[in-house]
Structure 1
C-alpha cells in the first residue's frame, strides 16, 4: 500500500508531504485545484516519462518520493530478478533535473525507467477516465476472463512456448529464403569453387612461381654471368684461387714474427675457405641451370591463372583467394545440407505447435467455464447500480492464427435495456454506463489480482444520487482487501471514505500553490456541505452532510 507521498518543485506544488492509511481514501477539491497535478506526480514516480515543463522552478530539480508497504505482496522474486534490495517499506524516488534528464531509484538503487514502470504496475492501478475506454477493447475484456479463470500460469507457459515457436518459425523462413537464393547462385558458386580448387592454392606460391619464372626467363644471361664468375675464380694466371694461394704463402711466412701477422694470416685463411665455398656453389649453379622452355611456359600459365583469379575476385594476395575458396566451400556444404536442416526445423515446429494447441485447449476450456459466472456477476452488480436490465453476450470463437493470448476471438456485447439489440460496448454504452461497468469489473479483478492499491480518478462521472452511493459502497467493500483511493466530485462518494483529503490552491506572495491536507471530522462536514450546496453554507446542507457521514 502507498503509505507516504512527497512532492517538491512539481507544477503548482512547491512542497507536499502527506501520509496515507489503508482502507478507503477519498480526495476532493474544486475543479482546477490540482487533483490532476497530484496524479501526474504519482504517475512520474511509477515510471511515466518526464517533461521539463513539469518543473515549477526551472533552476531546481523536482523530487517525487513514494513509500510503499510491500511485505505481504510477494514481490521478492521481482526484486531478486532486478538485483534490488527488498525492504518492508520500499522507497521509490524520481528526480527530474533542470537539464531535462531524469533519474529513478528504488531503495536508493538507480533503476531504468522500464523496471520502475514494471514495479509501478505491481504496486498501483491508477484508473483515469481515459482508461475507462480500455473496457471497450478485447485485450482488456480477455484479461478479465483470464483473471476469473485463474489462467495466469497457463498463459505464462503458452507465451513461453509461443516465443519458442515464433523463433523456430523465423529461423525456418530464413533457411527457406537462404535455400531459394542459394539455388539461384549455386551453379555459379560451384563454378567459382572448382576454379579456385583446381588452382591448388597455397600460401607463398605466387612469390615462388615469380622467382622461378624470372630464373627460367633469364637463363642465358644467368649462365653467362656464372661462367664469367667461374673464370675469375679459376683463371690460370690471374684467377682468384691462384692469387689467394700465393697470398696465403706470403703472409704465412710472417705469422711467426708477430701476433698481428698471425691474426692477419688467420683472416686470409678464412677468406680462402670462403672463396673455395663460393667456387663450389658457382659450379653447382652452373650444373643446375639449363634452359627449359616447356617448364617456363607451364609456370607462366600458372602465374597468369593466379593473376586472373586475383583480378576476378578483386584481391591482391593468394591468402585472400584461399579465404574466398573456404567461404565458397562452406556455402556449398550448407547448401548441400539445407534439406536436412529444413526438415529438422519443420519437425521441431510441429512438436512446438502440438504443445501450443494443448495449452490453447486448456485456456479455452477454463475461459468457457467462467464466462457464465462472469455474465451473471456483472449483470447482478450492475443491477445494484441502477441498471436492472443490463445484459451481456460473451462468446469465444476459434482464431486462425496464434496470438499472444491464444487462439480465441472474443465477442463481448452489451445491452442496457430490455428489447435493445446487443452491441459493442464502445457503440452502445454511455459514459455513465461505462463507468459503472468498469467499477464492477475492477471490483471483480481486485479479488483475483491481489493488487496492493487502486486509485479511481472520477470513475463516478455521469452518475448521481443513490447510484453514486452504491458505487461508493462497492469501493468501500473493495477496500477490505486492498487500499482504495477515489478522486471524486460527489458528496455521496466522499462521505464513504475512511479518510478524506482535500486538494486546494493558495496564493502566497502572488504565487499560486497547490496543497493537500487530511480533513478532520468537522472539516469533512463543511467540505461535504459545500459539495452539496456551494460556498454559502446552509443549515440544511450541514445537516445533510452530517447525515451522509453517519
Structure 2
C-alpha cells in the first residue's frame, strides 16, 4: 500500500508531504484545484516519462518520493532479478533536473524507467476514464474470466509449454527449410567431396610430390653430376678422400712435435670421417638414380590433380583443401541425417501439442464453469448502480489455434436495455456505463486476486443520487481487502471514505500553489455540505452531510 507521498517543485505544488492509511481514501476539491496534478506526480513514481514543463521553478529540480509497504506483494523475486535491495518499506524516488534529465531510484538504487514501470504496475492501478476503454480489450476480458476461474497455475504451465512448443516448431521449420536447400546442393557437394577424398590429400604432400617430380624429370643430369662428385671424392690418385688420407698421415707424424700439429691431425681425422660418410651417401644416391617414366607420369598426374583442385576451390595450400573437404563432409553428412532429425522433432512436436491441448481443455472447462458466477456478479452490481436491465452474454469458443492464453476465442457481449440485442461493449455501452461496468469488474477481481492499491479517477462521472451512493458503497467494500483511493466530485461517494483529503489552491506572495490536507470530521461535514449545496451552506445541507457520513455502508 501507499504509505507516504512527498512532492517538491512539481506543477503548482511547491512542497507537499502526506501520509495515507489502508481502507478507502476520498480526495475532493474544486475543478482545477490540482487533483490531476496529484495523479501526475504519482504517475512519475510509477514510471511515466517526465516532462520538463512539470517543473514549477525551472532553476530547481523536481522530486517526487513515495513509500510503499510491500511485505505482502510477493515481490522478492522481482527485486532479486533486478539486483535491488528488498525492503518491506520500499522507497521510490523520481527526480527531474532543470536540464530535463530524469532519474529514478528504488531504495536509493538507480533504475531504468522500464524497471520502475514494471514495479509500478504491481503497486498501483490508476483507473482513469481513459482506462475504461481497457474493458473492450479482449485480453483484459480474458484476464477477468481467468481470475474468476482460478486459472493462474494452468495458464503458467500452458505458457511454459507453449514457449517450448514454439521453439520446437521454429527448429523444425529451420531444418525443413535447410533440407530443401540442402537437397538442391547435395549431389554437387557429394561430387566435390568424392573428388577431394580420391586425391588422398595429406599435409606436406604437395612439397613431397614436387620434389619427386623434379628428381624424376631431371634424372640424367642428376646422375651425371653425382657420378662426377664420386670421382672428385674417391679417385685413387687425385680424389678428395685420397688427399685427406695423405694429409692425415703427414700430421700423424708431426703430432708429437707440439699441440698445434696434434690438434690439426685431430681435425683432419674428423673431416675425413665426415667426408667418408658423404661419399657413402653419394654412392647410395647414384645407386637409387634410375629413369622411371611411369612413376614420373603418375607423380605428374597427382600434381596436376592437386593444382586443379586448388584452382577450383580458390586456395593455395593442401591444408586449405583439407578444410574444404571437412566442410563438405559435414554438409553431406548433415543432409543425410536431416530426415532422422526432422522425424525426431516432428514426434516431439506432436507430444507437445497433445500436452498443450490437454491444458487448453482444462483452461476452457474452468472458464466455462466460471461464466455464470461472473455474469451473476456483474449484473447484480450493475443493477445496484442504476443499470437494472444490464445483461451479459459471455461465450468461450474452442479453436484449433494456439493463443498465448489457451485455444479459446471470447465473445463478451452486452445489452443495457430490456429486450435489447447483445453487441460488443464498445459499440453499445456509453462512457458512464463503461465506468460502472469497470467498477463492477474491479470489485469482483478484488475477491479473487491480490490487487495493488487502486485509484479511481472520477469513475463516478455521469452518475448521481442513489447510483453514486451505491458506487461509494462498492468502493468501500473493496477497501476492506485493499487500499482504495477515489477522486470524486460527488458527496455521496466522498462520504464513504474512511478518510477524506481536500485539494485546494492558495495564493502566497502573489504565487498560486496547490495544497492538500486531511480533513477533520467537522471539516468533512463542511466540505460535503459544500459539495451538496454550493458555497452558501444551508442547515439542511449540513444535516444531509452528517447523515451521509453516518452511513458508510
TM-score normalised by L of structure 2: 0.91
Contact 2:396–2:408, Cα closer than 8 Å, also in 1: yes
Instruction: Indicate the larger mover: 511-520 or 444-453.
Output: 511-520
SS of the residue corresponding to residue 387 of structure 2 reads coil
- How much does 1:81 deviate? 5.0
SS of the residue corresponding to residue 455 of structure 1 reads strand
Contact 2:364–2:398, Cα closer than 8 Å, also in 1: no
Alignment CA distance shift 1:322-1:124 (3 Å): same
Alignment CA distance shift 1:198-1:19 (3 Å): same
Q: Distance in 2 between matches of 1:505 and 1:304?
A: 98
Instruction: Indicate the larger mover: 411-420 or 9-18.
Output: 9-18
Alignment CA distance shift 1:96-1:238 (3 Å): farther
Contact 2:60–2:97, Cα closer than 8 Å, also in 1: yes
SS of the residue corresponding to residue 414 of structure 1 reads strand
Is 2:142 the partner of 1:142?
Answer: yes
Instruction: Indicate the larger mover: 524-533 or 487-496.
Output: 524-533
SS of the residue corresponding to residue 454 of structure 1 reads strand
- How much does 1:314 deviate? 2.2
- How much does 1:415 deviate? 1.0
Measured on the aligned residues, the alpha-carbon RMSD in Å equals 2.6
Q: Deviations over 1:36-76 (max 9, x none)?
A: 33323323333344555555566765543321112233434
Hey, what does 1:234 align to over in structure 2?
234
Alignment CA distance shift 1:544-1:319 (3 Å): same
Hey, what does 1:45 align to over in structure 2?
45
Alignment CA distance shift 1:38-1:255 (3 Å): farther
Any residues of structure 2 matched to 1:398-437 within 5 Å, and which? 398-437=398-437
- How much does 1:316 deviate? 2.6
Contact 2:148–2:370, Cα closer than 8 Å, also in 1: yes
Alignment CA distance shift 1:196-1:549 (3 Å): same
Q: Distance in 2 between matches of 1:286 and 1:474?
A: 115
Instruction: Indicate the larger mover: 258-267 or 191-200.
Output: 258-267
Any residues of structure 2 matched to 1:450-529 within 5 Å, and which? 450-506=450-506, 513-529=513-529
Hey, what does 1:247 align to over in structure 2?
247
SS of the residue corresponding to residue 257 of structure 2 reads coil
Q: Distance in 2 between matches of 1:204 and 1:386?
A: 95
Is 2:321 the partner of 1:330?
Answer: no
Instruction: Indicate the larger mover: 469-478 or 284-293.
Output: 284-293
SS of the residue corresponding to residue 365 of structure 1 reads helix
Hey, what does 2:118 align to over in structure 1?
118
- How much does 1:516 deviate? 3.1
Q: Distance in 2 between matches of 1:213 and 1:7?
A: 92
- How much does 1:195 deviate? 1.2
Any residues of structure 2 matched to 1:185-196 within 5 Å, and which? 185-196=185-196
Q: Distance in 2 between matches of 1:113 and 1:241?
A: 94
Contact 2:12–2:514, Cα closer than 8 Å, also in 1: yes
Q: Distance in 2 between matches of 1:534 and 1:227?
A: 134
Q: How many residues align?
A: 550
Q: Deviations over 1:2-47 (max 9, x none)?
A: 1112334544444433211111112233444443333233233333
Any residues of structure 2 matched to 1:389-404 within 5 Å, and which? 389-404=389-404
- How much does 1:133 deviate? 0.3
Q: Distance in 2 between matches of 1:307 and 1:512?
A: 91
- How much does 1:539 deviate? 5.9
* Structure 1 runs, 4 residues or longer, greater than 6 Å off: none
Q: Deviations over 1:218-273 (max 9, x none)?
A: 33333333233323222444422122223223333332232233223222222222
The unaligned stretches of length 5 or more in structure 2 are: none
The unaligned stretches of length 5 or more in structure 1 are: none
- How much does 1:303 deviate? 1.9
TM-score normalised by L of structure 1: 0.92
Any residues of structure 2 matched to 1:129-208 within 5 Å, and which? 129-208=129-208
SS of the residue corresponding to residue 253 of structure 1 reads helix
